[in-house]
A and B are shown apart, each in its own frame.
Chain A
Amino acid sequence: QQQVKQSPQSLIVQKGGISIINCAYENTAFDYFPWYQQFPGKGPALLIAIRPDVSEKKEGRFTISFNKSAKQFSLHIMDSQPGDSATYFCAASGRFSGSARQLTFGSGTQLTVLP
């Protein structure tokens, strides 16, 4: 019930296109949903995050869409660039009985943006 399911596993997009990565969760105790970007050989870096009281958050070319009733959230990368080629992880954080708050990560999506 604390799992976060991420899809697709890999994604290839043409330069200028829209990249969309989806995540789904089951447990409604999750209340914080960040996305991380990881370049090869580097640690993940926080890209953007959303809380369930809003349905959308935009930062530059990156937008999180959040559907509370469907328990789904997605990352949209507009005008995708070759420099966006990286692995993207969704995550969710919540406070569960008997345990400390921590992030549950999705399995990751390897994005390749073709020039």
Chain B
Amino acid sequence: DGGITQSPKYLFRKEGQNVTLSCEQNLNHDAMYWYRQDPGQGLRLIYYSQIVNDFQKGDIAEGYSVSREKKESFPLTVTSAQKNPTAFYLCASSSGDSRDYGYTFGSGTRLTVV
């Protein structure tokens, strides 16, 4: 079945540590996105990539970094510069096909600072 796989489901980070969240898709989608969701809040865009080897900052990119070396993969690194990283992180992808501009989301990674 085609879809987006995010791992791990739960992640704990110590103060000052960098952590990387994985996002893999087998939908052959060109575009991929990372969102942050805080409790009871909406979706805030961190980074997005429309094509391999290219990505753009979203609304809250500070303290995060990404790479897009393969079409299928768009990992997100939460760096020590992100002072309040505890949140639910969602990865999404889209084909950009005119028949369907919607996104497919992964099941999320819950990151907690300990």
Contact = CB atoms under 8 A, between A and B. Distances in A.
Interface stretch (B13-21, B40-48, B65-73): B40-48
Nearest to A44: B105
Interface string A43-80: 11110010000000000000000000000000000000
Given A32-B102, A44-B90, A49-B100, 8 more contacts: A32-B101, A46-B102, A89-B43, A100-B56, A102-B31, A102-B48, A103-B94, A106-B42
A43 B90 contact: yes
A108 B105 contact: no
B108 interface: yes
A107 interface: yes
A105 interface: yes
B79 interface: no
6 contacts: A43-B92, A45-B105, A93-B101, A100-B31, A100-B56, A102-B45
B11 to A, nearest CB: 14
Given A43-B90, A101-B96, A34 B41 contact: no
Interface of B: 4, 6, 31, 33, 40-43, 45, 48, 50, 56, 88, 90, 92, 94, 96, 100-108, 110
Contacts of A108: 41-43
Give the top 9 A-B pairs by smallest Cβ distance, nearest first: A43-B105, A107-B42, A93-B101, A32-B101, A100-B50, A108-B42, A34-B102, A105-B43, A46-B102
Interface string A83-112: 000000100010000001111011110100
Main secondary structure of the interface of B (DSSP, over half): strand
Nearest to A92: B101
Main secondary structure of the interface of A (DSSP, over half): strand
B78 to A, nearest CB: 18
Contact of A43 (B45, B96, B108): B108
A99 to B, nearest CB: 9
A115 interface: no
